[in-house]
Every structure is written in C-alpha cells, then in structure tokens.
Amino acid sequence: MKISENILQFIWKFRLFKQTELHTLSGKKLRIKKVGYQNFNEGADFENAILNINGMDWVGNVEIHQSSSDWCIHKHQFNPTYNNVILHVVNQYDIEIKREDGTIPETLVLSPLINTKVLNKYSLIERNQHWIPCEKLIRLVDPFYIHQWLNRILIERMISKAAYIHKLLEEYQGNWEEVSYIVMARNFGFNVNAEAFEQLARSLPLSLIRKYRQNRIAVEALLFGQAGMLEGKRFHEEYPKRLQKEYNFLRKIHKLKPIENTNWKFLRMRPSNFPTFRLAQFAAFCFEINHFFALIIETENLNLWKIRFNALRVTEYWSTHYHFQKVTAKHSTQLGKETIELVFINTIAVLLFSYGRYASNDNYIDRCIAFLESIKPENNRIIQRYKELGIRVESAAETQALKHLKTIYCDRKRCLYCEIGSQIIKKT
C-alpha cells in the first residue's frame, strides 16, 4: 500500500507503529528515545532525535520517505545538510542510498510495523466527502482537546490577520491611524463590498477627512463623491444636490478622482446593508470619532466602544432612505448590535492584536483575546454546523477559531496537522 510522506511523518511523530524489538535494515538493535522535533522548513523532517543503536546513543536528524529511492529523487546525496541524518525511515526499501559524505545511514522500514487500524482510520476521514472529514467521528474526541485546539488556532487566525495589517503598515510608512481608517472602512463593506470600501478609503486620505471634520456635509460629500455615487446624477432632492455641489468644489481644489461606481454591489442584499446606507454610517463614524487608533490603544473597556458606536448620529435624510432619491418608511439609522460586534471582532480586536505583535507587548494581545471572549458567538452557517456536530460555542473567540478550522484545516483536509484529526487517528 502506498502511503504519503505526511501520514508516515504523523506515524513517526506519534509512534503509531510497533515499538518493541526494532532493528535497522542492517540488523542493528534500535530503541527510540526521542523522535525529535518536526521541521516544516528546509532540511530533515525531524531534528534532534535521540536513538539508541546497538547500545550507543546517537543525537541527530531523521528523514522520512515513502521509498528509499526518494532520497535520490530529492537529491539529498548532494546536500551536506543531510550528513547528520542518523536514521532514514521508509515505508518501502528499494535501493541503497548514501549521504553526501559517502556514508550509508541506518534505515528503518516501517511497513511491517504499522498498525493497519491507523491507516484505515486515516483513510476513512481523508477520503470521505462529508462537510468536514471527521464529521462522523468528531464526537469521539474529548471536548478538552477540541477547546485546547481552538485556543491555539484562534492565535493562528489572528496572526494571519495581523499579516495583512503589517503589510498595510509598510505601505503607509508606519501610520497606524491611516491603516486603522482603511481597515475600518473595509469592515463597513461587510464582505460583499469590503473591497470597494477599501478602494474608497485608499482614494481619500484620512488627512483630507480630518481637514473638514468640522463640516459634516463636506465629509459626507467627500465620501459619497469619491465612491462615485454622485457622478453624472441629476438629483431632485436637496440633500444629494448639496453633496454633489460640495464634492464638485472639493474635487477641483484637491484634484480628486472618484472610484468606479460599478464597484458597488446591491443585489440580493437587505436594504440596511446597501453600500449607500453603510457609507452614511461610515461618514458618521469619520465625522464623530477622531484619532481612532489612539482610542483603540487607550480603551480597556469594551462597553466604552459600545457607547461610542451607539452614539453615532447619521444624517436625518437616511432615516427615510436606503438609496438616493428612493423614499422609504422611517427606520433607524443606528448600527445594529450584531454590526457593532462585527466591528469589534474584525477591526478593533485585529488592530489590537496586530499592534501587540508589532510592539512586542502581550498586554494588547491579551486585551484582544479578552474582548473576543466577552462577545457573544457569531451566528452563521459554519457555526451552526459545528454546533450540530456537538461543538460547544460560547464566545466570538471560539467562532473565530472555528472559521479558521473550517477554511484552513477541514476544507483542505489537513487532518494530520489538526489536533482533532490527530486524536481521532491515534484512537486505535
């Protein structure tokens, strides 16, 4: 049976093979004291292993292959890095191999030692077409291991999000306020219009917003105008007429170029998520909350953020409109509770974590995690499915981790690198 290197590495790492009376291919007695640390970078698969071969302890690296000939296919015989390989572990032995220095490493053939139940369990979860590979087996895993794993991959998810922030920071030469403005704008796009909101923020520097912070109509004109929503329109209502007139004036002064109006998506959306309505709310945020990033760093109580967002005052026009020149029944213009929580999760927490990493200050990272743990769980299709499979979900920290689990591990069938998958395969 052909077995991938990944599963062979997994079997070696967790010693899922016969451990007694081991011998190398040359007949020497082998005792594994320490399998070593798995290496995911260039070099041997496991480093600093401790093996006893014929009564003598050896410290070095272990290389694992499906067939011994893979050593040559990978050209290890020309790489002096592999001279410190003290054991070559293979599933099948087909040819003799040598190190770069001409010596022959000891070889352990795993195929007769592997417990077939391990392979059968792995095959069962890896080849099925369920929503997640371990759908039928996940209930076998102790919840303790599941939640320990979720804690770990929450950090993994936040690190991946921080990478985007740090990339923006390089682009904007360390200006955290500008970066925070762009990230917040993207948040107001809520997936469907996130890219368009980011384009808008990039086309309209925060410094220009601040220049006109005392003039609400100017701030709104800049945002709606740069969004391309005032371009070539003939309005019959007074409010959009004022916006258009103000924008045309500011556009000439500051040599502005609006983004394409076609970037915005309205189809199959609730009116409260229309980009025009969200942009009106974002305008209120830009007008009323100054030095946003400084507030993120200073604010230790999440309730203060709730008060700030609940206090945002959107221009009255939008209480009877979701779109320009389309009158509706009167409705609230405030950000909803779930919307505010998404801002906390996707913007404030991410910026806190990113700054903590940037400044090497765990206090901000801890505050980020504490915020996420204090926010109620997100409610979407992915979270509902995990709940149906028996996963206990109590906070946004866990829902963020579950999203990461689904996209980075389950969808890619990376069960060997997942603690849940590992626990299932090891239960043999």
Q: Nearest-CA neighbor of 11 among 126, 134, 119? A: 119
Looking at every residue in the chain, the average pLDDT score rounds to 94
What is the C-alpha to C-alpha distance for residues 186 and 423, in angstroms, rounded to an integer? 38
| Polymer length in residues for the chain | 428
What's the whole-model pTM score? 0.84
What is the C-alpha to C-alpha distance for residues 12 and 24, in angstroms, rounded to an integer? 15
> To 5 degrees, how large is the angle CA 65–CA 67–CA 71?
65
The CA distances from residue 183 to 133, 259, 311, 366, in Å, are: 34, 18, 21, 21
Q: Which amino acid is at 176?
A: W
User: 113-164 pLDDT, tens per residue?
Assistant: 998 888 888 888 878 889 999 999 999 999 999 999 999 999 999 999 999 9
Q: Is 15 left (phi over 0), alpha (psi -120 to 50) or beta?
A: left
Q: What is the maximal distance between C-alpha atoms in the chain?
A: 93
Please, are residues 227 and 193 in contact by the beta-carbon 8 Å criterion? Answer: no
Give the list of residues 6+ apart from residue 292 with CB closer than 8 angstroms, or none: 177, 180, 181, 184
What is the number of other CB atoms lying within 10 angstroms of the CB of residue 324?
Answer: 17
Structure tokens belonging to residue 45: 């698969």
Domain boundaries, the chain: 5-114, 116-171+342-428, 177-335
- pLDDT block averages, 10 residues each, the chain of length 428: 85 92 95 95 95 96 96 96 96 95 96 88 83 92 96 98 97 97 95 95 96 94 97 93 96 95 90 96 94 94 93 96 94 94 96 97 97 95 96 96 97 93 85
User: 170-222 pLDDT, tens per residue?
Assistant: 999 999 999 999 999 999 998 899 999 999 999 999 999 999 988 999 999 99
